[in-house]
Structures are given as structure tokens and as C-alpha cells.
């Protein structure tokens, strides 16, 4: 796959987060659980961040105290959830100076769902995505972006551009979520992430095509370039074209 040009030159700092940045790996994603199923929802929220690439393989999770506060659960509940995810192979604990809980480098393979698809549900996902993601790109381009925000987008672009095929989709999701993060709307971040989770269920049913991934990387650069230079119309056009390509593939393979 092709490199991302000058935008791909930024390297992620040790520990995974951009230095002095509010855009850490869990920005706007780990929101408080809602009620009586604290353990189950904690599992759900953490798994979503892993599957969407918010926490990448070998990346260290925030400290227990911080995670528990973000999720609105007790540390005991969090420890139970982390222990189960470790047993399931999603997390691993490292000891020593840089010890902590890390996302497993031996990523758990998702089993594609081969159950019949409802065409209306597929179109609903694609339609909603076509509304919220171009809007996120427009808002990001119009925002007064800090240096940290710009670097966050560049890092996510660099990572998806350099990703091998087997690790592409989580990093692709991370790039798209980063655009929503730059919009400044936590609700939009949540909507993009949830829609991406639904989209990934569809993408898991179709093959990864090298030519398509190269084209997608080129389009990612166009979107990021437009956002970073503050060109909202260009960001919207590039986002719409990119999403239409993905929609065409899904309709072609899943029809």
C-alpha cells in the first residue's frame, strides 16, 4: 500500500497518545455505563474501543483509576472486566517499570457473521454514515485546530496508511473517528463510532482488496489535507467520494 506522503511522517509517541494532547486514545469514547449492568457494559465499552482501533495492539490502557472514572464504575467492577478480557485473549498484563494492562498483540480474530442480511438494514447503515461522516469532516475543517489536534489526525493517517491488510480495518476506523473527534462534538464521536461498529460487521463479510485499500489511502490523504488547510467544501467532497466507494463495494458483494 502507498505511503501517505508528508502527512505520514508523524510517529506515535511512547505510550500511544499524542504528547500534551487532549486527544488520547480514549478521547470521547469511554463514556459512563448507563445502569444496572455495569460489568457487562464495561466489557462492551472496552471491547468496542479495541475492535475500532481506539486502543491498538500492544497499546497500554489508561490506569485503573482513570478508566473507572471514565466508565463510572467501581475499580472492583473494572478489575473483573479486565480479568475476563485478559482470559479471553484481548488484553495482557505486563510487569516491571512499564507494567500495566496492554491490548494483546495476538489479536483475537472476529468470526464473520454469515446469517442472512436485511437489505434495509445495510442501506440504513450506509445512509446514516453518508450523513454524519461528511458533516464531521466539514466541522473538523472549520474548527480552530490546535497543534495537538493536527498531530492526532496526522498520526491516525500515518498508521492506517502504513497498516498491513490484516490490521487495516481497526486503523481505518480509528482515522474516521479521529475526524469526528476534531469536530469538537462528543455526541458526533459516539455516533460515528457506533456506526463504524455496525459497518465493520458488514465489512467482515467481504474480502480485503489491495487495490481498494491503496485507493482508500489516497482518499484519506485528500480528506486530511483538506481538513488541515481548513477547506471545508473540499473535505466534504473527499469524504463523500470515499464513502461512496465503500458503499459500492458493500452493495456489490452483499446484494
Residue 109 is predicted with a pLDDT of: 57
Identical fold for domains 5-11+116-254 and 38-103, yes or no, is no
**pTM (2 d.p.):** 0.76
The fold for domain 38-103 equals Arc Repressor Mutant, subunit A (1.10.10)
Mean pLDDT of 35-44: 87
What CATH number should be reported for the domain whose range is 5-11+116-254? 1.20.120.530
Which runs of consecutive H residues, i.e. helices, occur in the chain?
Answer: 38-51, 64-71, 75-87, 119-142, 147-162, 168-183, 186-203, 210-228, 232-254
* Across 93-108, average pLDDT: 82
State the average pLDDT for the chain: 85
What is the phi/psi pair of residue 12, to 5°?
-65, 135
Give the largest CA-CA distance in the chain.
52
pLDDT tens-digit map of 132-146: 999 999 999 999 999
Give the angle subtended at the CA of 61 by the CAs of 199 and 112, to the nearest 5°. 30
Bridge partners (DSSP) listed for residue 218: none
Where are the chain's structural domains?
Answer: 5-11+116-254, 38-103
* Tens of pLDDT, residues 49-88: 888 877 878 889 989 999 999 889 999 999 999 999 999 9
Contact 143, 162 (CB under 8 A): no
- Compute φ and ψ for 207, nearest 5 degrees: -75, 155
pLDDT over 50 at 19, yes or no: no
Question: pLDDT above 70 covers what percent of the chain?
Answer: 85
Amino acid at each position: 500500500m502507498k505511503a501517505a506522503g508528508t502527512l505520514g511522517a508523524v510517529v506515535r509517541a511512547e505510550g500511544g497518545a499524542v504528547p500534551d494532547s487532549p486527544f488520547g486514545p480514549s478521547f470521547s469514547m469511554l463514556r459512563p455505563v448507563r445502569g444496572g449492568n455495569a460489568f457487562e457494559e464495561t466489557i462492551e465499552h472496552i471491547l468496542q474501543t479495541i475492535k475500532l482501533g481506539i486502543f491498538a495492539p500492544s497499546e497500554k490502557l489508561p490506569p485503573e483509576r482513570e478508566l473507572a472514572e471514565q466508565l463510572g464504575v467501581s475499580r472492583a467492577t473494572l478489575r473483573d472486566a479486565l480479568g475476563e478480557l485478559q482470559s479471553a485473549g484481548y488484553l495482557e498484563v505486563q510487569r516491571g517499570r512499564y507494567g500495566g494492562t496492554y491490548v494483546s498483540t495476538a489479536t483475537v480474530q472476529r468470526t464473520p457473521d454469515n446469517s442472512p442480511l436485511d437489505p434495509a438494514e445495510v442501506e440504513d447503515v450506509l445512509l446514516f454514515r453518508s450523513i454524519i461522516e461528511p458533516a464531521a469532516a466539514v466541522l473538523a475543517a472549520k474548527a480552530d485546530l490546535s497543534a495537538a489536534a493536527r498531530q492526532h489526525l496526522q498520526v491516525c493517517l500515518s498508521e492506517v496508511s502504513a497498516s498491513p491488510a490484516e490490521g487495516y480495518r481497526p486503523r481505518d476506523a480509528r482515522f474516521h473517528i479521529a475526524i469526528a473527534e476534531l469536530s469538537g462534538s462528543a455526541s458526533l464521536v459516539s455516533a460515528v463510532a457506533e456506526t463504524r461498529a455496525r459497518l465493520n460487521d458488514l465489512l467482515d463479510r467481504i474480502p480485503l482488496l489491495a487495490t481498494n485499500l491503496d485507493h482508500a489511502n489516497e482518499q484519506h490523504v485528500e480528506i486530511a489535507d483538506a481538513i488541515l488547510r481548513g477547506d471545508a467544501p473540499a473535505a466534504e467532497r473527499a469524504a463523500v467520494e470515499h464513502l461512496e466507494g465503500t458503499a459500492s463495494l458493500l452493495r456489490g458483494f452483499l446484494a
